[in-house]
Amino acid sequence: MIKMAVLGYGTVGSGVVEVIEKNKDEISIKANAELSIKYILDIRKFPGDPYEDKITSDFELILNDPEIQIICETMGGINPAYDFTKRALLSGKSVCTSNKELVADHGPELISIASEKKCNYLFEASVGGGIPIIRPLNYSLTAEKIDEITGILNGTTNFILSKMEKEGADFFEALKEAQASGYAEQNPAADIEGHDTCRKLAILSSLMTTKNVNYKEIYTEGIKRITKDDFAYANSLNQTIKLLAISKYDEDNNFYACVAPFMISKEHPLYFVNGTFNGIYVHGNMLGYSMYYGKGAGKLPTASAVVADVIDCARHLGKTVMCFWDKENITVAPFSKRSGQFFVRIIDTPENKEKAEELFPDMTLVSPMRDGEIAFITAHLTEASFAEKEKLLDGKIISRIRIAL
């Protein structure tokens, strides 16, 4: 019998308890032991809950109980999750988490403590909810040099963009619906401004490069500026708009990472990732492309990934499972040097047209979908060069969206 504790009895924490209860027979076979939840940490009271007798608000009780070998941290946020996780690992207890903020911020330190103490810090649920992606990067793809990861990593924004595309929904209507579906972060800015995606990309990129990718160095732009009209243009070009997280080595081995809305074509496998689903498209130098797709958020998919980590810990008590994430920071190439094409809409006046033609001599015009505007696609240019030209068209640009390769 392996005794465990769950920190945080919210959406994911209660999901963990449910998965362990519902699938206990399968789990005992796969863990080669019975798993038993001894404590659930929460400051709230849950009168009448079937697990009421296990609920405590005292973390020290869990920490000082030698019977507890595995802890699920499903509290979210940095504090007190960081302190609890660090102390649990220092005392030799394995920790499994869905906490993407904490993993992105303190991953290498916590992994290294786990390794010193011969226990594990596992975080499959921190990216892509129930989609296996951390384990493929740590196990199945270890013979590869991974040179590119492109992902749709946030269910809330993908739900909003899909609603705008397919039903012509307004941004704020779609956001309200996403919040009601329970996938959105408490502060929806974390979703719509791209910060949640950015942290998830930092985690994947760190495993991809085996060094630490500091999420603060990832250029991040959210979806607030995307309108229904942008989708009308995207559709006319056989494209759609997705919030993409992209990490890539270029031919000179410079490492780039960014989060931004991109137009992607119908040919791209991520085109078909809709609603709250996530998709992660990985390129390895031997394998070529592989794609990981599924429920990127939600109680049971996320809890399932946490419990799979618990089973891994149970199978490896006293041993550390390999994870390739060094403390050393990788140099993220300046985003200004990234090169690509842009779709641009400007107000239609003779002066604006002349200015646009002067600034973007190689542009390709796109049939306007709305009166009073000019739309075009630029040739390849750097972010720095585009930003300079954008400034010169100050106040005349209606929208501009990057185009994925």
Task: Map the footprint of ligand HSE across residues 127-156, applying CB under 6 A.
Answer: 129, 154-156
Separation of alpha carbons 37 and 4, rounded Å: 5
* Three-state DSSP state, 123: coil
Q: Which residue lies nearer to ligand HSE by CB, 184 or 226? A: 184
Tell me which residue of 197, 102, 187, 84 sits closest to 151, measured CA to CA.
197
- Contact map string, positions 193 to 212, toward ligand HSE, x by CB under 6 A: ---x----------------
Separation of alpha carbons 159 and 188, rounded Å: 13
Q: How far is the CB of 126 from ligand HSE (least distance, A)?
A: 8
Residue 49 per-residue DSSP state = -
Q: How far is the CB of 59 from ligand HSE (least distance, A)?
A: 24
Residues 6+ apart with CB under 8 A from 64: none
> Which value, in Å, is the radius of gyration of the alpha carbons in the chain?
23
183, 231, 233, 255: residue in contact with ligand HSE (rule CB under 6 A): 183
110-137 b/e (C-beta count within 10 Å ≥ 16 → b): bbbbbbebebbbbbbbbbbbbbbbbbbb
Q: How far is the CB of 153 from ligand HSE (least distance, A)?
A: 7
Residue 338 to residues 32, 254, 345: CA-CA distances in angstroms? 49, 10, 21
Q: Which residue lies nearer to ligand HSE by CB, 88 or 243? A: 243
Q: Which residue lies nearer to ligand HSE by CB, 155 or 284? A: 155
Q: How far is the CB of 183 from ligand HSE (least distance, A)?
A: 4
The sign one gets for the Cα dihedral 17, 21, 26, 27 is positive
Separation of alpha carbons 194 and 203, rounded Å: 14
Dihedral class, residue 99 (left if φ above 0, else alpha if ψ from -120 to 50, else beta)? beta
Q: Which residue in the block uniquely carries the two structure tokens 């080595």?
A: 249
Separation of alpha carbons 54 and 316, rounded Å: 26
Q: Active site includes 200?
A: yes
Looking at 65-73, 184-192, 247-255, 329-337, which segment touches ligand HSE (CB under 6 A)? 184-192
Q: How far is the CB of 197 from ligand HSE (least distance, A)?
A: 8
Q: Is 184 in the site for ligand HSE (CB under 6 A)?
A: yes
Tell me which residue of 313, 337, 294, 265 sits closest to 119, measured CA to CA.
313
Looking at 180-188, 207-215, 346-354, 383-391, which segment touches ligand HSE (CB under 6 A)? 180-188
What values do phi and psi take at 271, rounded to 5?
Answer: -55, -35
16, 202, 297, 363: residue in contact with ligand HSE (rule CB under 6 A): 297
Q: Which residue lies nearer to ligand HSE by CB, 165 or 191? A: 191
Q: Which residue lies nearer to ligand HSE by CB, 154 or 209? A: 154
Task: Map the footprint of ligand HSE across residues 103-132, applying CB under 6 A.
Answer: 129
Q: How far is the CB of 302 from ligand HSE (least distance, A)?
A: 7
Q: How far is the CB of 128 from ligand HSE (least distance, A)?
A: 8
* Three-state DSSP state, 369: coil
Q: Which residue lies nearer to ligand HSE by CB, 284 or 298? A: 298
Catalytic residue among 200, 242, 248, 295: 200
194, 222, 279, 296: residue in contact with ligand HSE (rule CB under 6 A): 296
Q: Which residue lies nearer to ligand HSE by CB, 196 or 383? A: 196
Looking at 13-21, 70-78, 177-185, 348-356, which segment touches ligand HSE (CB under 6 A)? 177-185
* Three-state DSSP state, 31: helix
Q: How far is the CB of 216 from ligand HSE (least distance, A)?
A: 19
Q: Which residue lies nearer to ligand HSE by CB, 184 or 263? A: 184
Residue 80, CB-side half-sphere exposure with 13 Å CA sphere: 12
148, 191, 309, 383: residue in contact with ligand HSE (rule CB under 6 A): 191
Tell me which residue of 289, 266, 336 sits closest to 151, measured CA to CA.
289
Active-site residues, by number, are 200
Binding residues for ligand HSE, rule: CB under 6 A, are: 129, 154-156, 183-185, 191, 196, 296-297
